Structure 1
């Protein structure tokens, strides 16, 4: 029986990475980290809304920090690290102090460990997280985990999907910057934040630290260890996730853009992350729907005022009496007027269920190795660029990094009318091959809500979307996911500002020119 139960909590130091935050959180929660604190130093409102949409279902906390502008980069890092340690101490104090072992039935104390990462750093153990912790001794205070620096992998722009799945190429083990480490440290061994003067070593001595392979940590040795990533590494995606030249100037990009060796991610970790991502997306989609429904009432008030202005502009008196006849003008209610609005009362259209067949004859299925049931597509001729996939029994599935909440994946596709074939988006993992649409008599998973007609040259407006929501107050979240894909690029960006938790469901990127 172990004499302690190691528990890992984490802090991520965030500045402008709110667009990649959901994927970062899903990756680390899937590893088994028991709480993640988002130390936010710049993206305040967007991150707050994203974290609030997840907090009810997931062990997350948001801690905003305003830093003095005159601080140097090293000073900023030190202050954020102090804030992270303080916040994680508060969080762990409210967590259980002991656990019951399943095998023995005995209660053992918890030993709290923490790790502090940037938003472009991903912890990647080579074995299960519980087996990464070193033996419990008073001499060991931390574990040093080396960087593994990933390049751009040839991508000019960040492709849709998870960064770990899209960037497989990294520098050789001998690359000098792989000497850098992040510490996974015992919380009770760290100095108080006020006494902390080194954000890198956290106030610990080298002799208190071991490497992930169990060997002593020797920061002053002239050469790198022969196998710096034995046990695990910190996958560093500086080239993939840097925001611009102000964050990563061209000379630094040239230095870090190393694409010399390929290491695919462990399928175990990708699978766990994708399953958990879809569960998290259910939380954000429900929160996003609730957020938009709160914006509907102002939309209805605007429609009411607009209706009154139109009625007044007609110049018709409310009561007219002339000779042998008279009439009284009856004004229909705003609700009655909205019933004539195409968005409010979207027209129902019968759809078609299809199977998707590869050129070699096999049918498209989800990613699960133990599942071979084909995915069923629901498709409308009026919106040929939109397809919703589900399994026949509506069970959960994954399809690459595409959002598949509530057992459904709504996708923007490229449709070839002549060949009756489609191309799926990049994030599904099947973008490089056309798929034939095969009509089937299988019933759709549910009765889908009619989609709103587009009202802008490039798609649906936010105004039209909110009007549609006003007409469908009991809308299921999966129908919102379908409608969001109709938004024009400008409206998608506008909605992202209104409800940033919906970012993964919005068509924020235009269709690449090279697609058919």
Structure 2
């Protein structure tokens, strides 16, 4: 292994915006990837909004790749890889400049990876351990695919893909011959000279596997133990949305669920903690985005109100022999106070503890910390529960978003038994929990929630009207209000504010690949 510290930067080739994007970023940043550039070849506005919301606080960036529709799949891959290589070279130069004034900074050796959105780098130990067998003449490390099936899920469940899909094909599955490379940047050709987007035109004899053995592409004996040191976890079935992306015959081929590999708890816990910090950035950015939309909506309504007001034939000042009046023109804000979302009124809530039928209080992760949750619940919104800890420290609860030391959940409530079921992503979805009254005060005075204005929930227009009437709304309040959205409004908001994807309610629907 080189005396220089390996520094890994990564390019993500993104074809469409997906609910897994934030989780992909959190997983790889938690591993220690020092910068991720998203090469966007299809999501465009949604991808740009998401990444730009993160890049103020996190080492991620976004580049649009507009390709000719007539290009073949091979030509597209080559063009995207060339763009990724150019971008990663620029990123490493910027990293060098940002650390050049720090004499205590270790000398680095730059490595890169170029991955698809359904591919996750997964070292067996930590990121640095992948480089322990490299020598001066090593140009790349080959990591084999480990192909994961659907794990019985007919549709993607909420939560992180790493935790939801743990069943995969056995080692000898032929497609595990395919590899992705961690490549030394200074050994790669110039981007415009690159001809092989998979092996980067590197001599095969200079490529090793993660266990230090020579990489031999067509040697079936390597499939006896292809994942020594690490793997590229490939979730092709979980990520393909319909038959245009994965025809039925290919889905049957890749839907392999013979063996199980559960992720290491320490890696998952670190990813969840970092993901929650990223979610704080996402909530702040989403709230800012919605406030911009609020201003646009108010300006339109103000113009419409002024036009309506000017159409009235009443004069402003009238004096008559028997009466007189001065016309008072109400402002738009005066009129909007009659709107139930704009003037949402506060309803009292209850503080509760959650207890299993065995008498165990619900605690945050990891359970050995023994920090029980308290909850804030209101009868007017019985399907909504906000949990927090008494010491107000950050926590995790499965894959549920827990920013700002708080988590708001869409629960199933039984009013007769006074019990609740938490959603799947908390890791407690099958546990019946009793609500026990408690004397623990809420950590903050929550802003009153907007009432529903559609048959099946809150509309985006109603949400924006609520924000207009409550200018001091905190990100935690927004997280609670988003769970009130109707299915159609959830889809609408997913388009106008994709950065809020992780906070939107999850409505099940039949997957596109089913008849």
- Say yes or no: TM over 0.5: yes
Partner of residue 61, structure 2: 61
Partner of residue 72, structure 1: 72
Confirm or deny: 8 A CA contact 1:170 1:261 kept in the other structure. Answer: yes
Q: Does 1:426 align with 2:413?
A: no
* Cα distance change, pair 136–172 in 1 and its aligned pair in 2 (3 A): closer
Partner of residue 37, structure 1: 37
Per-residue deviation, 1:322: 3.7
Q: Does 1:285 align with 2:286?
A: no
Name the CA distance, whole Å, in 1 between partners of 2:150 and 2:23: 18
User: RMSD of the alignment, in Å?
Assistant: 2.0
Name the CA distance, whole Å, in 1 between partners of 2:335 and 2:109: 64
Name the CA distance, whole Å, in 1 between partners of 2:389 and 2:122: 32
SS of equivalent to 1:279: helix
Name the CA distance, whole Å, in 1 between partners of 2:96 and 2:310: 65
Per-residue deviation, 1:94: 1.1
Name the CA distance, whole Å, in 2 between partners of 1:310 and 1:458: 31
Confirm or deny: 8 A CA contact 1:125 1:132 kept in the other structure. Answer: yes
What is the TM-score of this pair, normalised by structure 2? 0.95
Per-residue deviation, 1:334: 1.8
Deviations 1:108-166 (A, max 9, x none): 42100001111000000011111211455331111000100000000001111111100
Partner of residue 494, structure 2: 496
Moved more, 268-277 or 294-303: 294-303
Partner of residue 450, structure 2: 452
Partner of residue 150, structure 1: 148
Partner of residue 334, structure 1: 332
Partner of residue 415, structure 1: 413
Per-residue deviation, 1:19: 2.4
Per-residue deviation, 1:508: 4.6
Moved more, 187-196 or 214-223: 214-223
Matches within 5 A, 1:274-423: 274-308=272-306, 316-423=314-421
Confirm or deny: 8 A CA contact 1:366 1:374 kept in the other structure. Answer: yes
Name the CA distance, whole Å, in 2 between partners of 1:410 and 1:74: 45
Q: Does 1:89 align with 2:86?
A: no
Per-residue deviation, 1:309: 5.9
Moved more, 362-371 or 24-33: 362-371
Name the CA distance, whole Å, in 1 between partners of 2:217 and 2:236: 23
Confirm or deny: 8 A CA contact 2:163 2:263 kept in the other structure. Answer: yes
SS of equivalent to 2:466: helix
Confirm or deny: 8 A CA contact 2:30 2:274 kept in the other structure. Answer: yes
SS of equivalent to 1:165: helix
Name the CA distance, whole Å, in 1 between partners of 2:508 and 2:64: 32
Structure 2: tracts of 5 or more residues without a match = 511-515
Confirm or deny: 8 A CA contact 1:115 1:184 kept in the other structure. Answer: yes
Confirm or deny: 8 A CA contact 1:17 1:119 kept in the other structure. Answer: no
Name the CA distance, whole Å, in 2 between partners of 1:198 and 1:380: 59
SS of equivalent to 2:267: helix
Deviations 1:279-322 (A, max 9, x none): 00000100010011111122222333454466567765544444
Match of 1:475 among 473, 476, 480: 473
Moved more, 330-339 or 139-148: 330-339
Moved more, 57-66 or 129-138: 129-138
Name the CA distance, whole Å, in 2 between partners of 1:334 and 1:200: 60
* Cα distance change, pair 314–97 in 1 and its aligned pair in 2 (3 A): closer
Name the CA distance, whole Å, in 1 between partners of 2:168 and 2:505: 30
SS of equivalent to 1:427: helix
Moved more, 47-56 or 69-78: 69-78
What is the TM-score of this pair, normalised by structure 1? 0.95
Partner of residue 242, structure 1: 240
Deviations 1:162-202 (A, max 9, x none): 11100010001111111111110100011111221111111
Confirm or deny: 8 A CA contact 1:120 1:241 kept in the other structure. Answer: yes
Partner of residue 25, structure 1: 25
SS of equivalent to 2:111: strand
SS of equivalent to 2:372: coil
